[in-house]
Structure 1
Amino acid sequence: MTVKLDPQLMDILACPSDDHAPLRAGTPADPEADVLTCTACGRGYPVVDGIPVLLLEEATPPVAPGEQG
C-alpha cells in the first residue's frame, strides 16, 4: 500500500536524526512501502494506520548500496 499523506504535511516532515533531512514516501527498493525514508541518512520510518512514527527507536536502519531491504 502506498503512503498517502497530505503534500503540505510531507513538506514539513523531516527525519528526527541530527541531519533533519526531508522524507520521501516508500523506499528505494519498494516505492509502494508504508514507510517514509530519510533522503540523507536512509532510515525508514513506518507509517501505521496513516500516521508516521518518527521515532529513532522505531526506524529501520539504512540499507547499504547493493543490499536489498
Structure 2
Amino acid sequence: MKALLEFLGFVALVQGALGLVHEFTDWDIGLVQRLDFLDGYGVYASVALLVLAFALFAVAESREPG
C-alpha cells in the first residue's frame, strides 16, 4: 500500500508541476489542460494536485512498509 501511495503521489506531483508549467509558459504538456471542465481553473487544479501529492507522501510515510 505504501508503494501505491508513493506512486500516486508522484503522478500527482508531476501532473501538478506540468500544469503550472503549461499555465505560465503555454507549452502543450500535462493532463490538467486537456480536461475541458477545468478550463480557466488550470492554476487552481495544478496547485490542488501538488497539495494532494504532498498529502499522499505524508500518508505513505505514516504507513508501515508492505
What interval of TM-score do these two structures reach, taking the shorter chain for normalisation?
under 0.3
The structure in which a higher percent of residues are strand is 1
Q: Which has the higher contact order (CA 8 A, sep 6+)?
A: 2
The structure in which a higher percent of residues are helix is 2
Q: Which has the larger radius of gyration?
A: 2
TM-score by length of 1: 0.21
TM-score by length of 2: 0.21
